[in-house]
Amino acid sequence: MVTVEINQRAYPRAMGDVQFSTPDYSADQYQPPIDIPARDLLHRILYAQKKFREKKQRWAENLEELKLIDTRHESFVNAPCFVISNDLFQASIEIHTKENTKIYVFGKIVRYGKNYNVQASDA
C-alpha cells in the first residue's frame, strides 16, 4: 500500500481530476486533460508569486525572478505571460490541442488587505 500525503492548505488545487464514464469504458481509454501541464505550472507560478511578494513587497515580473525550473512543455505555445498591478498578479499560458485550437489557462492572485486569494481557472 502506498500512502501519499498532500498538503491541502499549501496546495489546495493540486488534488487532481475526476472523470466519470459509462460501465463499458476501460481504464486504458482514459485521456488526461490536455491542460494539466499548464495548470501545474500556473499553480507553481502562483504560489511562488505569493512567497516572492511576501518577501520583496512586489510581484515578480518574470519567471527568472521566481527562480522556477522546468517551465517548458511541448503543448505550450510560448512562455507564460504575466499581467501585474499593485494588488493583482495574473499569469496565463497558451496551449495547443490536437485539433489545432488554442486554450488559454489563467491563474491570478488578488490581494485583499493582507490576505491572498489564489485562483486558477480555464478561460
pLDDT at residue 47, as a whole number: 85
Q: Residue 106 falls within a domain, yes or no?
A: yes
2-35 confidence digits (pLDDT tens):
343 444 455 555 556 666 777 776 667 777 777 7
| Domain span holding position 100 | 92-123
Q: Residue 98 falls within a domain, yes or no?
A: yes
35-47 confidence digits (pLDDT tens):
788 888 888 888 8
Q: Residue 121 falls within a domain, yes or no?
A: yes
Q: Residue 75 falls within a domain, yes or no?
A: no
Q: Residue 113 falls within a domain, yes or no?
A: yes
Q: Report the domain count for the chain.
A: 1
pLDDT at residue 102, as a whole number: 60
Q: Residue 107 falls within a domain, yes or no?
A: yes
Q: Residue 101 falls within a domain, yes or no?
A: yes
pLDDT at residue 95, as a whole number: 82
Q: Residue 22 falls within a domain, yes or no?
A: no
pLDDT at residue 109, as a whole number: 58
pLDDT at residue 106, as a whole number: 61
pLDDT at residue 65, as a whole number: 93
The C-alpha cell at 46 is 502562483
36-86 confidence digits (pLDDT tens):
888 888 888 888 888 898 899 898 998 999 998 888 998 888 888 888 887
